[in-house]
Amino acid sequence: MDRRAADRELDEAEAGPLVVLVHSPSVGPATWQPVATELRASGRDVAVPSLLEVGAGDPPYWPRVVDAVRDELSGIAPDRPVVLVAHSNAGLFIPVIRAGLVQPVVASVFVDAALPATSGSTAVVPPDRLDALRALAGPDGRLPRWTDWFDEVDVAPMFPDPATRRAVTDEQPRLPLAYYQHPVPVTPGWDDHPCGYLRFSPAYEQPAAEAAGRGWPVLTVPGRHLHQLVDPGAVGSAIRRLVPILVPPD
């Protein structure tokens, strides 16, 4: 091993686990960038994979999620511990991401997120929600951008300012309806590692309660579903609190 590689491994060890912020495929990596900046300023190593191409091509779509995260970490040492932090719909992919990475996933944090099933497969949306999405799909089989699903009165408060809203809105993909129709497989034993939950909005009280019922630590930072954009400092602080609970320092 050359000197630079050795120095890099030493730096990685001192920085602790690599925090991988996984955005929902319904939006884009801009939803995590402010928190990534906060965490880096506190000394954390952070990666923010882009899942913007997940909806390209035919199903199944979940392997593209795994590929995107794996590609983002391709330059990271294979023994570097990783903490996955998944927002919203990305929570469903934690089992397959963990199984598909070279690096060991030592903890996972679900942020205002759906929880995967414990076995079998997980529907991306419940059947009643799928009926509503069918009505939104265009002739090309694709849905409008996620923020276009809702009324302005619900969308506007999720953003701290017009510039942030433009950045998030402009990068959103138009996912195919098929993305929501194909379940995500569940890797057996995916939850045999430490997991935690961070809730923002009332809509995610049920999965947060389920997480608590599984014995996971649960923190609440009250806000709307994209609260990581509105108060990245508070969200970053909550993640910094959860990580050492899940992965105690040596």
| Burial letters 163-201, b for 16+ CB under 10 A, else e | ebbebbbebbbebbbebbeeebbbeeebbebbbbbbbbb
Write phi, then psi, for 85 (nearest 5 degrees).
-125, 105
Convert the pLDDT of each residue in 65-88 to its tens digit. 999 999 999 999 999 999 999 999
Q: How far is CA 93 from CA 2, 16, 39, 151, 227, in A?
A: 36, 23, 23, 28, 21
Across the chain, mean pLDDT equals 93
Cα–Cα distance between 39 and 250 in angstroms, integer?
20
Convert the pLDDT of each residue in 199-234 to its tens digit. 999 999 999 999 999 999 999 999 999 999 999 999
Convert the pLDDT of each residue in 129-168 to its tens digit. 899 999 999 999 999 999 999 999 999 999 999 999 999 9
Please measure the distance between the N-terminal and C-terminal CA atoms of the chain and give it in whole angstroms.
Answer: 25
Tokens of 238: 């909550």
Instruction: Name residues whose C-beta falls within 8 Å of residue 220's C-beta, 6 or more positions apart in sequence.
Output: 198, 199, 200, 208
Mean pLDDT of 187-203: 96
Task: Tell me the domains of the chain and their CATH numbers.
Answer: 3-123+185-246 (3.40.50.1820)
